[in-house]
Chain A
């Protein structure tokens, strides 16, 4: 067990995270203490088990998928940077950000938010939501009273609504298009306490 000092956040790190994610100083420190409280193994990274220890996630239909979203492709551990990077998607879009011409698109831009949502469906990362992937999500979201056939119909119809190029799956662009009327900025933001 290393000394706690090694896991403390250094100022430079905070600055970097601030630049990358846009969180404020106090928010970062707050979230860091949350991170450490989740990190039972005290090795500076979180594993899937750490997430699964959060009780409310077990009763969340999308719980596992969201946990999965924290872990980059193929890895089993996520460090604080990665943790913050994902959480940054949910920061509310502020006015000044809307107008700023950033070098790279901020993590909480509308497109990036939608990309996060898209990746929840698209597990195999082929940039398409196939019928099976959609069915899986539907099955998770919908009650048990609905039969598989009905679910299949719903899935088919959902794909039809979005699919413009007729490949029977939803690409990211189609996804964006179909949700253009939805106020994603508001629907996908939470208030991070200072």
Chain B
């Protein structure tokens, strides 16, 4: 802080206006717009897009009828109008560079990563037919028809040649993945239909890129120099672009998988690798003029299985969520800008013939293409594509931002009518996204399209689908046919032998099993709701889904019945806390002992995982203040909790003096406290809160076990001076905790009794303790006790130091 004398002249400088240049002194505050212009604008636009989405999502009635994408475009219209009104020129447009480099990749990466692989590759034949042949057909037919109409004079006086028509056709022919996702996600059609349309929209990029580049080159070359050689080169370039792009994507996918195999130590930046490498695959493909969309798609498709297995659960969740955030954000921004870009007088070139004919032909040729190709495919498919599905497929041929992006890339010098083309493209996009988007849902309902089965996770379905797989392979073998299943089986075997060995962590490989995974997930679900229910009801005597009891109750009853009476006898909230913690652990102990012979000790493994989930609170506190973990610092609660804990401890020691049981509750208190601070698991945060309500003399939840004479009122007792030193105890926990985690999880009563035998711990107990045990440490405790009571509440940093 400046000494007062010096501040005054500065203030007077500031008073004379922004910027000290006029006065020649030190500026206190300046307004530096240009300094931050670009990032500020970017951030503002992202904010605006987010707000738009917020507003739109506020009303479900509207979004049920009109798809979100359409609303976003309309919002873009409004916004564009405002900007245009202010600037008289459209300063913001959907810049192709920004679109192709910064907005599109994450959407495609997200789709690749969450692609249902089995379905995708199972229908790959059909998808490829639609993508390649269908797109070529669309492009050619549209270009030729428009040219024909032009020759016939339907379009008036336009300076467009055949090649340019074909170029235009190629850029507008492609079905757009962003638009398809946006519209189809609200209409839950059956998965085969969805994967066909969606797969087509992804894979047709290979064709689009080639066609666009080839025709662009032809247009530049001029019609005269096109001969057979060039055409053949074009065809070859298709194969190179498509397969090259896919291969590149696969390579990057393998790279990611290999990388995640060794990143256990850097769990916090594991997710970053996925994104960076995915983006690099996109850029590398662009650099080599291969199909970037194909590259990033196959990158996501190939790596998903391995990184999901290799990475820690938290990293997998992070990747999944961040992908969704990016993809959703990009999609929103794209649609808003699509709207804004329309309000630009430069591109308002109207040619009735051109525009209307384009719309008409796109629609018609899509229908023809789909039906014809499906008729051919159905002769070879196991389950034919139904008529209704075909209708939806043709209706779902939506064009979107990719077409617009390509249109803006057109070379104006070669293509005089670029503005007309941009305008037409935009109109086509609006037509398909808004109109077809709005009518898609009613159409689907009206035609009674088979909807997606909402599949709940059941063990029996999982088991049975495996049974089916094996059955089919066997029958194919018996009947001597090399069929689809045979190939799939062979691939699975190959994958099992080679790929998982190279790409998956050894530890994960051993514990992978489909049926068991489902079982494990179901157990996790049960365990979480078990704990939540337990708190809500305040006791363990709750009637619940019996399947949960299969795993827990049996063990609980058998093994804990000995321990239970002791616990219930004491009847303090702390003991019940132990009980809650103990129950899952006991059953886990059962399983652990069984699996000891088979399993290696590593992080990600079935029951360890469950155990970790339940115990994470305790472990987590050790890393509380590292930059790598989140920290929820509930200071006020802490203070109160500490105080209440002190009070309770004193009471306990008083009671235990009578009963000869020392309070192990300190540990459980830590559990409660730490479970509160464990942010990632929302459930445990809730646990913590519940516990604290229990501090006021009640147990968890509603069952009140009076804490006897101690008049602990609700939350109001705050006596900061009373904060004992918790840190030593926190520091002491680890060795004991280690016991908790590794060995038999439930320490015996005796073990618990021994726990708090450190001088600092006992400091708290000392005053009230009339020790029935002749133990020197108790006596020692008396001395430090008095001192520690006067300690200041430990600051977080101090605790940090302690715990780290």
Contacts and interface: CB of A to CB of B under 8 A. Distances in A.
Interface of A: 31, 34, 37-38, 51, 54, 56-57, 60-63, 66, 87, 90, 92, 95, 117, 120, 137-138, 141-143, 145-150, 153-154, 156-158, 160-162, 178-179, 181-183, 185-193
Interface string B460-503: 11011111101111111111110111000000000000000000
A92 B382 contact: yes
A191 to B, nearest CB: 5
Contacts of B54: none
B515 interface: yes
A193 B480 CA distance: 10
B463 A141 contact: yes
B802 interface: no
Interface in B538-555: 546-547, 550-551
A62 B470 contact: yes
A153 B595 CA distance: 14
B537 interface: no
B18 interface: no
Interface in B446-471: 453, 455, 458-461, 463-468, 470-471
B547 A157 contact: yes
Contact of B511 (A87, A90, A145, A154): A145
B471 A66 contact: yes
B478 A51 contact: yes
B775 interface: no
28 contacts: A54-B478, A56-B477, A60-B473, A60-B477, A62-B470, A66-B474, A66-B475, A87-B475, A117-B467, A117-B471, A141-B466, A143-B513, A145-B511, A145-B513, A145-B598, A150-B516, A150-B591, A150-B595, A154-B516, A157-B522, A160-B546, A178-B461, A181-B455, A186-B383, A188-B471, A190-B475, A191-B483, A192-B481
B594 interface: yes
A97 B112 CA distance: 38
A142 B515 contact: yes
Given A141-B466, A188-B472, A57 B595 contact: no
A66 B470 CA distance: 9
Contacts of A154: 459, 515-516, 519
A138 B481 contact: no
A123 to B, nearest CB: 14
Interface in B50-85: none
B464 A117 contact: yes
A19 B646 CA distance: 85
Given A147-B595, A157-B550, A190-B485, A138 B463 contact: yes
Contact of A57 (B453, B466, B472, B478): B478
Q: Which 5 A-B pairs have the closest CB atoms?
A: A34-B480, A56-B477, A62-B470, A147-B594, A66-B474
A62 B481 contact: no
A143 B515 CA distance: 9
A190 B455 CA distance: 24
Interface string B491-534: 00000000000000000001111011001001000000000000
B590 interface: yes
Interface in B552-571: none
Contacts of A187: 465, 468, 472
Nearest to B380: A191
B591 A178 contact: no
B692 to A, nearest CB: 35
B599 interface: yes
Interface string B744-760: 00000000000000000
Interface string B148-172: 0000000000000000000000000
A91 B595 CA distance: 43
Contacts of B475: 66, 87, 90, 190
Contacts of A56: 473-474, 477
Nearest to A33: B480
Interface string B570-614: 000000000000000000001100110011000000000000000
Contact residues on B (Cβ < 8 Å of other chain), bracket:
35 or more
Contacts of A61: 470
Interface centre among B471, B477, B483, B590 (most CB of A within 10 A): B471
Contact of B551 (A146, A147, A148, A153): A153
A63 B516 contact: no
A147 B599 CA distance: 10
Contacts of B472: 90, 187-188, 190
B594 A190 contact: no
A146 B513 contact: yes
B551 to A, nearest CB: 6
B591 A149 contact: yes
A153 B474 contact: no
Contacts of B453: 181, 183
Interface centre among B463, B481, B484, B546 (most CB of A within 10 A): B463
A161 B474 CA distance: 28
Contacts of B384: 95
Contacts of B551: 153
Given A92-B383, A182-B461, 18 more contacts: A37-B480, A54-B478, A56-B473, A57-B474, A117-B467, A137-B463, A143-B516, A145-B598, A149-B591, A153-B519, A153-B551, A156-B550, A158-B460, A158-B463, A161-B547, A178-B460, A179-B464, A190-B484
A187 B383 CA distance: 10
A158 B467 CA distance: 14
Given A141-B466, A190-B481, A120 B471 contact: yes
A54 B474 CA distance: 10
A182 B464 contact: yes
A162 B511 CA distance: 26
Interface centre among B516, B591, B595, B599 (most CB of A within 10 A): B516
Contacts of B594: 147-150
A194 B484 CA distance: 15
A190 B513 contact: no
Contacts of A54: 477-478
Interface centre among B383, B455, B464, B481 (most CB of A within 10 A): B464
Contacts of A51: 478
A137 to B, nearest CB: 7
Nearest to A27: B479
A37 B466 CA distance: 29
Contacts of B591: 147, 149-150
B479 A161 contact: no
